[in-house]
Amino acid sequence: MSTPNVIPMADIMLVLLIIFMVVTPMLQKGMSVDMVKVRTPKDMPDADKDDAIIVAVTKTGDLFLGTTKIAKEDLAGQIKDRIANRLDKTVFVKSDARAKYKNVVAAVDEIRSAGVDTLGLLTEKVTGPERPAAPPAS
């Protein structure tokens, strides 16, 4: 037979595709929220580390520490436990753009009461066309 048999290669490619489809959602840290989009975000590379403490506030007001749902009253205690043995006492907050301001402030207040040194608010960079300049006032 002079033609190559590509069927085993196609089987391997399908298996790899399935593996990537299963693993890709697991790569995201913490709860998924639609973060606020800004034009000039500050780069926070420490938020991507494996041991970063990330608190998420959803649009319904639920709080997540990593991927675990947590009550507001338990947040300060859990964060105290996690930062107790660390030199870098930084916690990152990512909030849904539609979350109520009072829920975000309540989460920040609980985090601050845990003795956190630095609090980072995570945002996303605006992608797409820039907003047109406002017309001059006359």
Containing domain of residue 73, as a range?
30-125
Looking at the 3D structure of the chain, how many domains does it have?
A: 1
For the stretch 6-37, pLDDT in tens is 888 889 999 999 998 888 776 666 677 888 88
Asked if the structure places residue 107 within a domain, the reply is yes
- Chain position carrying tokens 């916690």: 91
Apex CA 39: angle with CA 38 and CA 41, to 5°?
Answer: 70
pLDDT score at 137: 66
Query: What whole-number distance in Å separates Cα of residue 79 and Cα of residue 115?
Result: 9
Asked if the structure places residue 24 within a domain, the reply is no
Asked if the structure places residue 8 within a domain, the reply is no
For the stretch 79-101, pLDDT in tens is 999 998 888 889 999 999 999 99
Asked if the structure places residue 2 within a domain, the reply is no
With 60 as the cut, is the pLDDT of residue 48 above it? yes
Confirm if 62 and 70 have CB atoms less than 8 A apart.
no
CATH number, domain with residue 63: 3.30.420.270
Asked if the structure places residue 64 within a domain, the reply is yes
